[in-house]
Amino acid sequence: MAPLLTPAQADELIRQDLTALPCEALPYLSALGRTLRQSLSADRDFPPFDRVTMDGIACRSSDLSLGPLTIQGLHPAGEPAPAPLQPEHCWQIMTGAVMPSDCDTIIPVEELSISGSLVTVLESAAPTPGQFIHHQASDCAADTELLTAGTVITPAHLGLAATVGAVELTVTCQPHVTILTTGDELVPPTETPLPHQLRQSNGPVLLSALANWGVNHSSTHLHLPDDLTRTTEAIESALSSSDLVLISGGISKGKKDYVRPALESLIGPPTFHGIAQRPGKPLAYWKPSSKNPPLFALPGNPNSTLTTFLRYVRPALHLLAGSPIPEPITLPLAKPLTPHPKLTLFLPATLESNGTLTVHQPQNSGDFASALSASGFIEVPSGEVEVTTAAYHPNNR
């Protein structure tokens, strides 16, 4: 193995070669979680008219000192602006209605005494002219850009798309991801393993980690025996049919670790192999070329596969989607922690309600149970001095 990189050096090598996949147009309701590749602007002023914000009456403030007002009629939401208001009259008005242009004050129904068609303002009320009016264009003027390309679409964004009538959205195509897992010792989760066997779990973890990303229907998974020919054939086929290839296992120094030899025979040496980190030290990466899409060979220990997916593949998915990579957040640790002298540590952690991080120290990279209750993981660079804060990567992004 060549000298080990730092995580930051690996990030640089991964990030310099990845660009966004092509776009497609989708009905807006199918675009949740996808990356927007157009901007969205207000098609009109918002609100588009002076909008009433309380149920009550609309009147002229100058009429209020003259005694009870007479109700001229009802002016609900969804009606065009009403006829001119007669002197000493008012409109019974509803939230969402167009503010009549000859009125200046809204008084909520709670501050009124209504008897037949006569309305008296309660003595306890002190209406101010202009109150309870959401003025036209006060949220934004027509043509204001509200969402930029690169936005990952949330329900609130779809609400905006509906509001501005953007019923078709240009988004990034989903990547077709091929997942290959390796290992003679692994049997399908549906089978009962012999004493020397284990059930295969990294395939399901990667499939569902991608599904969390909305990459549901375009990922495939194949489990391979420890066999060079089978491994080479499966990788060759994956390279020709995928936007991204993820391989788990078979990338260390074992006699039956065939992933690197297979890839070297197909596309040459990796961009890097080995990062000074735990877990995930034997991570290897082949950058995209005319012969291959980007390919990550994730170390097979379950913690190593999941952590290297979250730490390295997830940012790569952001780049392929054309969305910005979320930065980790530096937060205080519930207890100080001693770094490793040579390796960056990734440790499962839970963000507590008081804003501190409780760290779950795994026994080893095969100890998947320690991560089960974690909300994310922390990244602790190598060093000699105890640390009291750490960079936190939440799982859910």
**Residues 238 to 257 in contact with ligand MOO, rule: CB under 6 A:** none
- Rounded CA-CA distance 89/71 in Å is 6
Q: 279 with 299: CB under 8 angstroms?
A: yes
Residue 105 or 200 having the CB closest to ligand LQZAQKY5? 200
Closest CA relative to residue 297, chosen from 310, 311, 283, 313: 283
Question: Which residues, at least 6 apart from 63, have a Cβ–Cβ distance to it below 8 Å?
Answer: 69, 87, 88, 89, 90
CB of residue 298 vs ligand MOO: minimum separation in angstroms?
9
Partner touching 300 among ligand MOO, ligand LQZAQKY5, none, CB below 5 to 8 Å by kind: ligand LQZAQKY5
Q: What single letter denotes the amino acid at residue 272?
A: F
Residue 242 or 252 having the CB closest to ligand LQZAQKY5? 252
Partner touching 292 among ligand MOO, ligand LQZAQKY5, none, CB below 5 to 8 Å by kind: none
C-beta atoms surrounding 240 within 10 Å = 11
- Rounded CA-CA distance 47/249 in Å is 56
Partner touching 270 among ligand MOO, ligand LQZAQKY5, none, CB below 5 to 8 Å by kind: none
- What is the token pair recorded at 171? 């988004």
CB of residue 251 vs ligand MOO: minimum separation in angstroms?
10
Closest CA relative to residue 395, chosen from 351, 345, 354: 351
Binding residues for ligand LQZAQKY5 (CB under 6 A): 181-183, 185-186, 198, 200-203, 248-254, 257, 279, 281-282, 299-302, 304, 365-366
**Residues 357 to 376 in contact with ligand MOO, rule: CB under 6 A:** 365
Q: What single letter denotes the amino acid at residue 122?
A: L
Q: What single letter denotes the amino acid at residue 361?
A: Q
Residue 168 or 184 having the CB closest to ligand LQZAQKY5? 184
**Residues 255 to 314 in contact with ligand MOO, rule: CB under 6 A:** 278-281, 299, 301, 304
Closest CA relative to residue 222, chosen from 236, 210, 238, 208: 238
- Residue least distant from ligand LQZAQKY5 (Cβ): 300
Residue 321 or 343 having the CB closest to ligand MOO? 343
Partner touching 253 among ligand MOO, ligand LQZAQKY5, none, CB below 5 to 8 Å by kind: ligand LQZAQKY5
In Å, how far are 119, 141, 286, 342 from 278, measured between CA atoms?
A: 75, 52, 20, 10
Question: Which residues, at least 6 apart from 65, have a Cβ–Cβ distance to it below 8 Å?
Answer: none
- Any bridge partners for residue 113, and if so which? 120
- Any bridge partners for residue 93, and if so which? 56, 75
CB of residue 330 vs ligand MOO: minimum separation in angstroms?
24
CB of residue 277 vs ligand MOO: minimum separation in angstroms?
7
Q: How many residues bind ligand MOO (CB under 6 A)?
A: 8
Quick one: CA dihedral 49, 50, 55, 56, positive or negative? negative
Per DSSP, the three-state class of 359 is: strand
CB of residue 260 vs ligand MOO: minimum separation in angstroms?
15
Partner touching 358 among ligand LQZAQKY5, ligand MOO, none, CB below 5 to 8 Å by kind: none
Partner touching 376 among ligand MOO, ligand LQZAQKY5, none, CB below 5 to 8 Å by kind: none
Closest CA relative to residue 346, chosen from 300, 318, 304: 304
CB of residue 315 vs ligand MOO: minimum separation in angstroms?
18
Partner touching 200 among ligand MOO, ligand LQZAQKY5, none, CB below 5 to 8 Å by kind: ligand LQZAQKY5
Residue 231 or 277 having the CB closest to ligand MOO? 277
Partner touching 92 among ligand MOO, ligand LQZAQKY5, none, CB below 5 to 8 Å by kind: none
Partner touching 323 among ligand MOO, ligand LQZAQKY5, none, CB below 5 to 8 Å by kind: none
- Rounded CA-CA distance 258/226 in Å is 7
**Total H helices, total E strands in the chain:** 7, 26
Q: What single letter denotes the amino acid at residue 180?
A: L
Per DSSP, the three-state class of 195 is: coil
CB of residue 304 vs ligand MOO: minimum separation in angstroms?
3
Strand 69-75 and strand 118-121: the pairing is antiparallel
Partner touching 214 among ligand LQZAQKY5, ligand MOO, none, CB below 5 to 8 Å by kind: none
Residues that bind ligand MOO (CB under 6 A): 278-281, 299, 301, 304, 365
